[in-house]
Amino acid sequence: MTEDDIIKMAQKAGLIIDGNNSGDDDLFAFAAVVFARAAALEREACAKLCEDNGLFQTCEAIRARGTP
Protein backbone atom coordinates (compact mmCIF):
# COMPACT_ATOMS: atom_id res chain seq x y z
CA MET A 1 0.00 0.00 0.00
CA THR A 2 1.37 3.38 -0.95
CA GLU A 3 1.30 6.64 0.98
CA ASP A 4 -1.14 7.98 -1.61
CA ASP A 5 -3.45 5.04 -0.90
CA ILE A 6 -3.37 5.83 2.82
CA ILE A 7 -4.11 9.51 2.19
CA LYS A 8 -7.02 8.64 -0.10
CA MET A 9 -8.48 6.27 2.53
CA ALA A 10 -8.10 8.95 5.21
CA GLN A 11 -9.91 11.45 3.00
CA LYS A 12 -12.65 8.92 2.27
CA ALA A 13 -13.06 8.42 6.02
CA GLY A 14 -13.54 12.16 6.41
CA LEU A 15 -10.18 13.01 7.95
CA ILE A 16 -9.00 16.48 7.13
CA ILE A 17 -5.78 16.35 5.15
CA ASP A 18 -4.20 19.77 4.72
CA GLY A 19 -2.24 20.81 1.68
CA ASN A 20 1.16 21.12 3.36
CA ASN A 21 1.34 17.48 4.53
CA SER A 22 1.64 18.38 8.21
CA GLY A 23 0.61 15.39 10.25
CA ASP A 24 1.39 12.88 7.51
CA ASP A 25 3.94 11.12 9.71
CA ASP A 26 1.28 10.63 12.39
CA LEU A 27 -1.20 9.43 9.79
CA PHE A 28 1.25 6.88 8.37
CA ALA A 29 2.24 5.70 11.85
CA PHE A 30 -1.43 5.23 12.75
CA ALA A 31 -2.06 3.37 9.49
CA ALA A 32 0.85 1.03 10.22
CA VAL A 33 -0.60 0.21 13.65
CA VAL A 34 -4.07 -0.39 12.19
CA PHE A 35 -2.75 -2.62 9.40
CA ALA A 36 -0.57 -4.60 11.80
CA ARG A 37 -3.53 -5.19 14.12
CA ALA A 38 -5.77 -6.21 11.23
CA ALA A 39 -3.14 -8.66 10.01
CA ALA A 40 -2.78 -10.12 13.52
CA LEU A 41 -6.54 -10.60 13.83
CA GLU A 42 -6.69 -12.26 10.41
CA ARG A 43 -3.79 -14.58 11.26
CA GLU A 44 -5.46 -15.59 14.51
CA ALA A 45 -8.79 -16.23 12.78
CA CYS A 46 -7.02 -18.47 10.24
CA ALA A 47 -5.05 -20.24 12.98
CA LYS A 48 -8.23 -20.85 15.00
CA LEU A 49 -9.95 -22.33 11.96
CA CYS A 50 -7.01 -24.68 11.40
CA GLU A 51 -6.92 -25.56 15.10
CA ASP A 52 -10.65 -26.35 15.11
CA ASN A 53 -10.06 -28.76 12.23
CA GLY A 54 -7.13 -30.56 13.82
CA LEU A 55 -4.43 -28.92 11.72
CA PHE A 56 -2.22 -28.10 14.68
CA GLN A 57 1.08 -27.73 12.82
CA THR A 58 -0.59 -25.37 10.38
CA CYS A 59 -2.08 -23.21 13.11
CA GLU A 60 1.30 -23.03 14.85
CA ALA A 61 2.93 -21.97 11.58
CA ILE A 62 0.32 -19.27 11.03
CA ARG A 63 0.75 -17.90 14.55
CA ALA A 64 4.53 -17.95 14.17
CA ARG A 65 4.27 -15.59 11.19
CA GLY A 66 3.25 -12.84 13.62
CA THR A 67 6.38 -13.08 15.74
CA PRO A 68 9.51 -11.16 14.80
Rounded to two decimals, the pTM is 0.74
- Condensed to tens digits (0 to 9), the pLDDT of residues 13-58 reads 887 766 666 677 888 888 899 999 999 999 999 999 999 999 999 9
- pLDDT of residue 60 exceeding 90, the answer is yes
Q: What are the extents of the domains in the chain?
A: 3-11+22-64
Cα–Cα dist 25/44, whole Å: 29
Helix and strand tally (H, E) in the chain? 3, 0
Nearest Cα residue to 23 out of 8, 9, 7, 35: 7
Q: Which residue has the higher pLDDT, 59 or 20?
A: 59
Quote the pLDDT of residue 45: 96
pLDDT at 48: 97
Please name the residues in contact with 24: beta carbons below 8 A apart, sequence gap of 6 or more: 3, 7
Could you say which DSSP state residue 8 is in? H
Instruction: List, in sequence order, every beta strand (DSSP E) within 1-68.
Output: none
